[in-house]
Amino acid sequence: MRSLTFVIGTGRSGSTALSRILNTHPDVLSLNEYMASVGDAAFPEGRLSGAEFWEALFRPTPYFAGMLRSGVLMPEFLYTRRPGRYAAGTTGIPALSLMVLPHLTDDPDALLDELRAAVVDWPDRTAPRHHEALFALLGERFGRTVAVERSGYSTGWAPGLRAAFPYARFVHLHRDGPDCALSMSRHPGYRVITLMREIAERTGVEHLADLTAEQVRSLPPDLAPLLGERFDAALVRDRDLPLRRFADLWSELVGDGVRFLDGLPAGQGMSLAYEDLLDAPREELTRLAAFVGVEPVPSWLDSACAHLDGSRRGSARRQLTAAELADVREGCAAGTRALARSGSGSGSGSESESATGRG
């Protein structure tokens, strides 16, 4: 692979559309939700064999497996739209199969078999080197020369990715705070995230894996079942979750993204506002192409606009009451200030900014 880029951000910010756009570029290997799928489990310390690395890619992602068993489906779950040989209730859906491989091919089962045949015999090496080899294998398979990974809710992974791939470039994708918070509040994945954050706050643990049986028993009946193998989807769907929680989450994630980007060496960071992408798609995609290391192919730019939907822009202003809008704006204020201080707000994406790592 000639270059590796990670698109980080809050999610619900046009990131799925961006993955679709990148996937249509003839030179880009678009790794859709790769980090969300394999997670920290695929980055153990030390060296591991090809077979051990494959197991980390194959075993179902616990967080998503629980949602699938409970009937809480996200639109990002591509495999469930055209089911193959794997099923959530029996075999479990392999981590790579749920969102990564269906983005690349109409036959994810065959591609999974093809990858397994190669990966299990790989020599021992560290996890980052295994991931690089996998990206190179997929790049060769699809004739792509650069890799761009994009996962929603991904700012927390950025420092670890920087340590694992110190040469990698990072794009911080962000969207208007109130619009993004409103979108989060209606998305099953972010509703689960918010409920899990509430569990952590109530019990005082940093990681849910550290919860004791006594702490679980102390939780109210509308939260404790979420920690089981299967739960009632209504606990996620029908729970009244204040919009302010999602605004606060947006501010936290945006602040993390801005601080991370500001700490990168020159030329390794770029900021991209979803609103700028809507307003000037050709200019912004040309800037993005240059950053990741590919040409802004005219036919690609022509087709990219079809993947952008500006109809939800301004949704918070249109759909919330004045009081609700004021409250969500207050929750988003810290993140908005962070973007403004870094020069990363909508309308600020210039080539000179991206070159400084603060674009």
Q: Is the pLDDT of residue 347 over 80?
A: no
Instruction: Give the sign of the dihedral formed by CA 67, CA 71, CA 77, CA 78.
Output: positive
For the chain, the average pLDDT equals: 94
Contact by Cβ (8 Å): 249, 181: yes
The pLDDT value recorded for residue 345 is: 73
Q: Give 119-134 pLDDT, tens digit per residue.
A: 999 999 999 999 999 9
Q: Convert the pLDDT of each residue in 209-252 to its tens digit.
A: 899 999 999 999 999 999 999 999 999 999 999 999 999 999 99
Per-residue pLDDT, averaged over 22-30, amounts to 98
The rounded distance, in Å, linking the Cα atoms of 213 and 358 is 45
Whole-angstrom Cα distance, residue 249 to residue 109? Answer: 36
Kindly tell me if the per-residue pLDDT of 286 is higher than 80. yes
Which pLDDT value is given to residue 145?
A: 98
Nearest-angstrom CA–CA distance, 213 and 215: 5
Contacts 24+ apart (CB under 8 A), 279-283: 279/347, 281/305, 281/308
Q: What is the mean pLDDT of residues 107-127?
A: 98
Average pLDDT over residues 266-291: 97
Q: Is the pLDDT of residue 357 over 90?
A: no
What's the average model confidence in pLDDT over 287-309?
Answer: 95
Answer for the pair 274, 173: CB distance below 8 angstroms, yes or no.
yes
**DSSP labels for 168-220?**
-EEEEEE--HHHHHHHHHT-HHHHHHHHHHHHHHHHT-SSGGG--HHHHHTS-
Q: For residue 301, how many other CB atoms are within 10 A of its CB?
A: 17
Tokens 């980007």 correspond to what residue? 261
Instruction: Read off the tokens for 224.
Output: 């404790």
pLDDT tops 80 at residue 163: yes
With pLDDT > 70 as the criterion, what percentage of the chain qualifies?
96
Q: Packing angle between helix 188-203 and helix 62-69, nearest 10 degrees?
A: 110
pLDDT in tens, 38-73: 998 899 999 999 999 999 999 999 999 999 999 999
Instruction: Name residues whose C-beta falls within 8 Å of residue 140's C-beta, 6 or more positions apart in sequence.
Output: none
The least confident of 124-133, 255-264, 271-280, 348-357 is: 348-357
pLDDT higher than threshold 50 for residue 350 = no
> For 312-330, what is the mean pLDDT?
97
- Whether the predicted model's global pTM rises above the 0.85 cut: yes
CA angle 70, 75, 81 (to 5 degrees): 80
**346: confidence class by pLDDT, cuts 50, 70, 90:** low
Q: Tell me how long the chain is.
A: 359
**pLDDT for position 348:** 41
